[in-house]
Structure 1
């Protein structure tokens, strides 16, 4: 550890040693000290303990880097949402500490096989967390005394502190040579799928299916995921930025503009984000493109379908619900979207897993009606989405937040797997939708590849 936070870690070590002399009153304990802020992604990149987790909300000045796990829930096989809800509720009852957070995610489709290590659902209570707000930082150490020897658990926390490395400055990623690229589905198959969805008979019963593509890119060298995320973050600051790395082999990173929901006690914030165009080369062109998007019947219809679905599924769970009537423009680095805000006051006792079950997958990533669209995707798309278009975020007693993992990448040795999707509705053109996929990959490709 050297001189890096030595006084803060000594304070934590003292607290841990004190804990060993007094029986713990709760199953889960969190210790905390304050420290000066530092760049969290450079700290995370230097660590060798897994899992590694990063979370940064879209519109708040807080980011989190976490390592290790003192408790985790991992479901490789099919798991029912009601089981997840029950497990999470049990965990919440094990501590009164307000700051305990479980970070993780759910796969897009929990009825099919997902990626190794990520599974259909995977949530972690980290061993060590750094939470930065402005220029203030808190170092948190979590301990789980349930069904464990208290002295062993304290020793595990002490060992984790001892193994922390000093942060190193992140250098920009080297531009890599493209060794190969493959798309699944390929354009010919994509065209077939779009034509199937837009057939009048199919479209009458299933007005929207979000089709996606897996682009596998082989490169000349290994990729440091946290460096890529830092660059991506710099180019899309008004997005959620997050990453999960459960082993050295695979990291899932995302710079997603889309909120699934933010819950503060019983207050809920969500949104309809659907309908896309590119950015202009200058302010005038940018405004013209934005206005054309607002006026476009196909995109407006797509956004309205998403808004209506969210209102319908939240109404039974809410005492009050309000949704923007007209869409606004939400601008990102290479593209702009149609966006409507939705707010709700939840009924007493509504849990996070009820919200996840109601909202995810949204019509912006699955389609409408949900089951018919998911069935089509399952049978025809041709690959397992895993956590792409899944729900990623954290649970907390008082506040929970989840993003829909749309602009995202799964990084493996000498390979980056990129994903992009497009909402297919009546009038969708296969060539235009394929180009939309390319536009959505432009930012991350420009970071990685030397064309």
Structure 2
């Protein structure tokens, strides 16, 4: 039985069901550490795209921005509070051991490119297809109950598809010329009662990302402050994160900030263009919206833009779903260890769907 205090939330899910039935675009979402679930509903099925990021709505952008970012125009905006419900008993799902040889070969190619000096770091990923046992709405609620410190969302457009996720990474937040973002990199599995022990590979990877973001943003910032790296837990994983804050020049444009940050070194690599070319030439699938970004664009009275990197996500397709997992490859990477990291990451979403 649903919690009585979530009555309005379940009414929101009924509105979502109606949109699925009628083919009308929407996004429902909750920001990290908040209790409010918001919904943006479009009144028709037009596929609206944006290049200058001057419009208003919920933006859903691909890894390759040449493919255009989609915007759901707010015909109707709803919000309701959500109280975390008791977690349902669910068997632990272990990742299939599929395509291991293919991924090991991909990682080896990445390391070889780094050793040649073509790249400093590259993020390489793979796609895992599984049979669904839960609906998109059930998956979304599972994420709300399991990952309070992430951005949880459910997105639908009949001309794009159905996506859901719980991402721990902010791309950028801009409000009244104040900017905040983060440098997030490195991964270790969470073990109850134990703090993570970071090795030189993880520390170097995180420092590389921080330096790169500082360099990319410096031309748009009047002030820029980089915080110290901290261990942060997201689900069953640890990451290293540095908070980055500052004040934009009055002439800075959102599209320029997005172009400077996306795709981040945490999902693409360094240098960005060379890493992106390597990914698109060597990964065995097209990422589409995985490692793109999503969130509020010029919303509310303060015209706030709050965007998140599309990680820990699932794409629904009929009775099947696809999840995506990857890792940052550096000169110190070991292919077997990188495979294990993707296996650990995959359990985050496998348990939800």
Q: TM-score range by the shorter chain?
A: 0.7 to 0.9
Number of aligned residues: 340
Shift of 1:181: 6.4
CA contact (8 A) 2:114 2:120 kept: no
CA contact (8 A) 1:73 1:121 kept: no
Matched, 1:359 2:291: no
Could you report, residue by residue, the CA deviation over 1:346-384 in whole angstroms, capped at 9, with x for unpaired residues? 000322211111110000000000011001001000211
CA contact (8 A) 1:108 1:389 kept: yes
| Match 1:84 to one of 51, 70, 73 | 51
Matched, 1:195 2:143: no
Shift of 1:247: 2.7
Unaligned 5+ residue runs, structure 2?
A: 1-5
CA contact (8 A) 1:232 1:443 kept: no
CA contact (8 A) 1:44 1:66 kept: no
Provide the C-alpha distance between the structure 2 equivalents of 1:269 and 1:227, rounded to a whole number of angstroms: 32
Who is 2:3 aligned against?
Answer: none
Who is 2:276 aligned against?
Answer: 374
CA contact (8 A) 2:47 2:159 kept: no
Shift of 1:233: 2.0
> Quick check: which has more Rg, 1 or 2?
1
| Match 1:304 to one of 207, 215, 223 | 207
Give TM-score scaled by structure 2 length.
0.87
**RMSD, aligned α-carbons:** 3.0
Provide the C-alpha distance between the structure 2 equivalents of 1:212 and 1:381, rounded to a whole number of angstroms: 7
Matched, 1:425 2:330: yes
Identify which of structures 1 and 2 has the higher relative contact order when contacts are C-alpha pairs closer than 8 Å and 6+ apart.
Answer: 2
Who is 1:109 aligned against?
Answer: 64
CA contact (8 A) 2:45 2:157 kept: no
Could you report, residue by residue, the CA deviation over 1:14-64 in whole angstroms, capped at 9, with x for unpaired residues? xxxxxxxxxxxxxxxxxxxxxx98226634444334212112212444321
Structure 1 residues 72 and 330 mapped into 2: Cα distance closer, same or farther (>3 Å)?
farther
Give TM-score scaled by structure 1 length.
0.69
SS in 1 for 2:51: helix
Could you report, residue by residue, the CA deviation over 1:67-91 in whole angstroms, capped at 9, with x for unpaired residues? 233696535xxxxxxx711xx43x4
Unaligned 5+ residue runs, structure 1?
A: 1-35, 76-82, 92-100, 112-118, 136-168
Shift of 1:243: 1.9
Could you report, residue by residue, the CA deviation over 1:378-433 in whole angstroms, capped at 9, with x for unpaired residues? 10002110110001112116211000011000011110100011000011111111
Structure 1 residues 177 and 306 mapped into 2: Cα distance closer, same or farther (>3 Å)?
closer
Structure 1 residues 304 and 203 mapped into 2: Cα distance closer, same or farther (>3 Å)?
farther
Who is 1:277 aligned against?
Answer: 188
Provide the C-alpha distance between the structure 2 equivalents of 1:201 and 1:245, rounded to a whole number of angstroms: 38
CA contact (8 A) 1:72 1:123 kept: no
Shift of 1:270: 0.2
Who is 1:262 aligned against?
Answer: 173
CA contact (8 A) 1:249 1:412 kept: no
SS in 2 for 1:39: helix
CA contact (8 A) 1:44 1:226 kept: no
CA contact (8 A) 1:69 1:124 kept: no
Shift of 1:65: 1.5
